[in-house]
Amino acid sequence: MLDLAPNGQPFCLSFLRNKAGMVVSVMDWGATLLSCQIPMGDGSLRETLLGCPSPTDYSQQNAYLGASVGRYANRIANGQLLHNGEIIRLEINSPPHQLHGGPEGFDKRRWRILSQDEQHVLYALDSPEGDQGFPGLLQVTAQYLLTEDNTLRIVYQATVDKPCPVNLTNHAYFNLDCEPGDIRDHYLQIDADSYLPVDSTGIPPAGLRSVEGTSFDFRTAKSIAQDFLSDTCQQAVKGYDHAFLLQAKGDLSHPAAKLWSSDGQLEMRVYTTAPALQFYSGNYLEGTSAREQGIYHDHHGLALESQFLPDSPNHPEWSQPDCWLKPGERYESVTEYQFIAS
């Protein structure tokens, strides 16, 4: 039976391959990353992403598996923006806040395919004036590019005809183990000296804090389990779901983070031009349809989302670039996931 998207038309899947044997699949609904298989030293392919059993299942889950999210990834407090003395009210989908662009965000749209081959696919989407409450017309592209050194490069670009905050990211969930399971045995390193505490609704009540002496210090690689739920800041959101202000400051030659499988056979390096990285330990994955094993449970995958800090439109005082995109400017965010098998 043919899988149909919510608009009644078939999904369009694209497959990227390189000479090393890495295979990536994506689809036009939500410009969604479906699968990322890495060639291992023993000749096998290891799946690194959580995914649903079929394309149809993606529109029936709320974990944003592999989706392109926007106009604004993460949360905007109370669903409102203050700009030049004007209050702009947005659509609410995580009461009382907006999350990942609203109830009908970019993850719930069919993106147009502008070009594709075995190395890349380029998607485009138009977001009209007032979409989810945001001002102006936004035109956006998303490109997935597979290189010969087993790097998946994701590039988001956007323009606007009115000032609007723009913050695009991919919400892939990674699990680098051969057999999917709890990711807390993975080792993680994040090159960040500060992080942003949040309340139980995921909104930062104050400013950035130093990671020094806290469970959020990943400057030296450690297992995710080591300090898991060891403080009230984590306990408020059932684990890690926090943004880290990166030391790389947009330098693509400097790794923002590194992740290792629990068996030590696979490493993933993250590079990004974005100022921050949201580390989410999959605290609310329970019941999400799984590709091969019925359902996922909490902590079966983790996300490392490149973006601005959450609620940045309302915090111009934070030490990062301005998230408000203006007419005549071009937004660009580049993120690379490089895989190294041993």
Q: Which residues are catalytic?
A: 171, 305
In contact, 75 and 305? CB cutoff 8 Å: no
What SS3 state is found at 56?
helix
- If we measure between CA atoms, which residue out of 237, 244, 258 comes closest to residue 214? 244
- Count other C-beta atoms under 10 Å from residue 254's C-beta: 13
How far is 113 from 110, CA to CA, in rounded Å? Answer: 9
Closest CA relative to residue 130, chosen from 95, 100, 160:
160
Q: How many CA atoms lie within 13 A of 298 on its CB side?
A: 7
What is the DSSP secondary structure assignment for residue 327, as one 8-state letter? T
Of 219, 239, 223, which is closest to residue 231 (Cα–Cα)? 239
For residue 98, what are the β-bridge partners? 76
